[in-house]
Structure 1
Amino acid sequence: MGQLLSATLVMLLVFVANNGMQQTEAQGVTRPYVRPPARKNLELEFSLWQTSTSSATSPTQMHVSLAGPNKMKVSWMTGSRTYNVPAIVRYGTAQGQLTQVATGTTKSYNYLLYQSGQMHHVILGPLADSTTYFYMCGGFGLVYNFTTPPPAGRDVPIKFAIVGDLGQTAWTESTLQHVAGYDYDVLLFAGDLSYADYFQQKWDSFGQMMSPYAHYRPWMVTEGNHEMEYIPLLAPSFRSYNTRWDMPYAESGSTSNLYYSFDVASAHVLMLGSYTNFGVGSQQYNWLLADLKKVDRSVTPWLVVVLHAPWYNSNSAHQGDGDQMMEVMEPILYQAKVDILFAGHVHAYERTTRAYQMNIDPCGMMHITVGDGGNHEGLASEWLYPQPEWSMMREASFGHGELDVKNATHAYWSWHRNNDNEAVKADDVWITSLSGPKSGCESSTEFIMN
């Protein structure tokens, strides 16, 4: 009886919100906001070259990620190559009973004169759904914990936190604090993580900065342009990114850490690569076709895409950066009836209505740009006028997004502006999935091949 009342209440709220939205979404909004002066970059005290054995072997830069059905990956760095710390994690459902043991892999890399510490990646599982596990990296030291996502299921609710273009400023720190105040299940990161920009020690300071927030909930990331760090003949692209952020690409049939997919609760999420080959016939293109053909909307009714360079952008910054990828892949995603596409890159917030080929289309994707995490480059405050018909809300402020999937058909999106020490909800909308029979938008697996 209680579940029936709860479901009825949710549907009533959806009905009221949708009717109100129809009145307010008829015209796009450009919201001016006077941002205080940029905060200074954080100066984090951290070194990978401590001389004591304890500091050289102690885990740092911890983060966890999904690693396939009922599995989680624990990743951490130790500071010296001299001491071979084993890639071992002891874990269990009680802090004093870490009776299970998992082993994994260890990676390191050189970048010009820089030598990384040892990056360890260990997959734990099978794990129970919606359960808190306690774990110990390397088999000794401090005990941490994470909570697994909800079980797979068509009507299973799930909460996503959405960020992009974080960097390492005091605005970044406030964004992370605001995200931590949201009881999310999985964080989706739309690229541009550390803004190390070739200076590898900044990857270490970023790892330390985000560790308190990333070691207890899974972070799923895709690459941005600041992760490339390519130096001809000296350093291949994405060397640091691929070493430190090892995503579950093989589990989804991908051959590259730069694009992959995963299922969680009632959603299928595609993490696409804006900066690796996406042309017709490329490995990413062929993988995308194969992946979408395996999606069963009766099992995962929500279909979400995350990439870096936005396809729909009415800001003067980065105009056209995503056009080539959009030309190739938008028809495929349109036929698959993707619900939402999240992007970063532009340091501002923008939300569109459903659109296709730059026109409003009730069977198209909603595009949401969240490249506003707080990086040192500042905000992109120059908008194009007139505001495109498909652009519903845009504002040049730092912030983060929250996607609260209620059931198989309805989700609630909200964007929260960083306003000094508070997160202020500045935009929200109810979203109806295209998988529902009442959407009038039937998905197809006969994707365009030429």
Structure 2
Amino acid sequence: MNYIKPLYVQVLLGILLGIILGFCLPETASSLKPLSDAFIKLIKMLIAPIIFLSLVSGIAAMNNLETVGKIGGAALVYFIITTAFALVVGLLVGDLVQPGAGLNIDPATLDVKTAEPYLGKATTAATPSDFLLNIIPQTFLSAFVDGEILQVLLVAMLFAIGLILVGKEGRIVLDGVQVLARIFFKIIHLVMHLAPIAAFAAMAFTIGKYGLKPLLNMMGLLLCFYVTCLVFVVGILGLILKLYCQMSVFKLLAYIKTELLIVLGTSSSETVLPNLLEKLEKLGCKKSTVGLVLPLGYSFNLDGTAIYLTLAALFIAQATNTDLSVWQQLSLLAVMIVSSKGAAGVAGSGFIVLASSLAAVGHVPVAGIVLILGIDRFMSDGRALTNVIGNSISTLIIAKWQGTLDEKRAREVLDSVTLQKNIQVSME
């Protein structure tokens, strides 16, 4: 029975059993969602303190504010470029493949009642200034209470800077922070044992509630989206990783396959953030770089969401026979560069951002989101997987760029990985 001992095998079994239950007993399967929700809530409960403690210990131990600024600046530049590129890729694929052409749907005939919760959120979408102000929490503790990643990052950076400025007197606090970080990672390891159950419940709920009908009806769009994400990850990000870091994207995928299966099962990239922090550090990235770049990427580097936004927008335009000029497509692109930053980690948030973007631009009928509402849960998996892979690759690239990557160790770890035997995070 040793072959089912690895966590990724248990998660894969959970996904397969969930699919079977969803087909055989859809009503029972549809009632299992609370199990996956409970797992996600447990992880989200631990994310804020883990980000805070990891970032504080990493930056304070670095003891160099200039280096922190360089890493943060480099990360933001990289994120803006890759996100814009992913949006353009989605736009180009939508124009070339035209997955919505020939549907000839009149927006006036669409029943928008099922999408009213999303349409309501779209009309109250935050402006760029609101987004920037939201980074600042009301109080020190509210960042942790609300679980806002960017707010926790800001608080952690300020606290770490304060520790550096205090000097030797802050050493005892730093030692305490490092001990607390180890404690929280031990808790995460315990919680991750529940991942197979969560994956089973989430997949059973999805199949039991939605079935395969939405998939069959929108197979063209789904295939177009997943193939585009695959080409982007392997052909673009993988090529950058190979040329710049001399690393194989396939070995990296094998290294984080447990996390990818958990994301596939739960449709949420937040569930694996703590594990990725630890795994990328074990891979040879400095703790300070991982602790800053990876959480920042969860808000600013969402490649899968970016591809989805432009591709889905063009699908709706084509399906409703809405002609978009080049300038209208460029204006849509500009809005989505900003709005995509609000789709961090949470399952289904990309759909809300899509509705918000369409409402802001006005060229594409917002009611058209009803067309993809039934398959959004299946597209959410692709978004989350691409986002996780993109942020893992970006952390390695930025770590090398800033000289905080142990390249020899990284290659040794990745070279020892095979599809049958992955280097596991210690579950002690």
TM-score when normalising by structure 2: 0.24
Q: Higher strand fraction: Structure 1 or Structure 2?
A: 1
TM-score when normalising by structure 1: 0.24
Q: Higher helix fraction: Structure 1 or Structure 2?
A: 2
